[in-house]
């Protein structure tokens, strides 16, 4: 009887830990969690512990491992939600493995997070001085462990894309502030 109770207890604890991991990082499905578990064996991953309602991980693009050449390595985590208007909001976190460079824009905010300070460029001044760069939200590279990552607040949007809309500055800050190492 004691063995049965101990076994039931261990199963309950294991299930609780799995649910805690999933709830710690909202929007991540069980299958995606398994993908990320494999990827984090190779590199640490920043994930938000807060996302606006309705966002889910749309896709994870992974090419990692010792058999993948440096220039072909890839880790991109794409979140999205569809709005009642039919438009989409999308953001991503992308690892930089080869040839990363900085952006020419000045930071509009510096966001403190558990993974370090993050320089955000949210609709920064256009380089030609013609006002703000509309529909642009990106961070400079920030390190999580030895891997550089950046946030793209308009992932996959083409120039003048009317189907994709920006996430508010307040929500962008909350997402970045909530980043934790997975």
Measured distance CA(52)–CA(40) in Å, rounded: 24
Q: Report helix, strand or coil for 178.
A: coil
- Position 9 in a domain: no
167, part of any domain: yes
For residue 20, is it within any domain?
A: no
Would residue 94 count as lying in a domain? yes
Is 34 within the bounds of a domain? Answer: yes
Question: What residues contact residue 13 under an 8 Å CB cut-off, 6+ apart?
Answer: none
pLDDT at 5 over 90: no
159 domain-assigned: yes
What residues make up the domain containing 121?
26-181
In a domain, 17, yes or no: no
Burial of residue 109 (CB within 10 Å: 0-12, 13-18, 19+) is middle
Average pLDDT over residues 100-121: 91
Token pair for 52: 């606006």
Kindly report the pTM of this predicted structure: 0.84
- Average pLDDT, whole number, for the chain? 87
Of 49-53, 96-100, 131-135, the range with the highest mean pLDDT is: 49-53
What's the number of domains the chain is made of?
1
115's CB contacts (< 8 A; 6+ apart) are 46, 142, 143, 144, 179, 180, 181
What pLDDT is attached to residue 104?
Answer: 82
- Number of C-beta neighbours around residue 171 at 10 A: 17
140 part of a folded domain: yes
């Amino acid at each position: 009887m004691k063995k049965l109770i101990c076994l039931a207890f261990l199963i309950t604890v294991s299930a609780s830990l799995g649910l805690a991991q999933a709830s710690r990082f909202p929007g991540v499905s069980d299958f995606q969690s398994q993908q990320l578990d494999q990827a984090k064996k190779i590199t640490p991953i920043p994930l938000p512990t807060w996302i606006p309602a309705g966002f889910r991980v749309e896709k994870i693009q992974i090419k990692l491992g010792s058999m993948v050449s440096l220039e072909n390595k890839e880790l991109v985590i794409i979140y999205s939600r569809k709005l009642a208007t039919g438009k989409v909001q999308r953001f991503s976190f992308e690892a930089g493995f080869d040839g990363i460079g900085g952006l020419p824009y000045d930071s509009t905010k510096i966001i403190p997070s558990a993974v370090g300070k993050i320089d955000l460029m949210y609709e920064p001044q256009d380089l030609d001085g013609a006002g703000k760069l509309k529909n642009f939200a990106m961070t400079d590279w920030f390190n999580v462990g030895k891997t550089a990552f950046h946030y793209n607040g308009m992932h996959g949007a083409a120039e003048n894309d009317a189907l994709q809309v920006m996430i508010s500055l307040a929500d962008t800050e909350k997402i970045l502030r909530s980043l934790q190492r997975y």
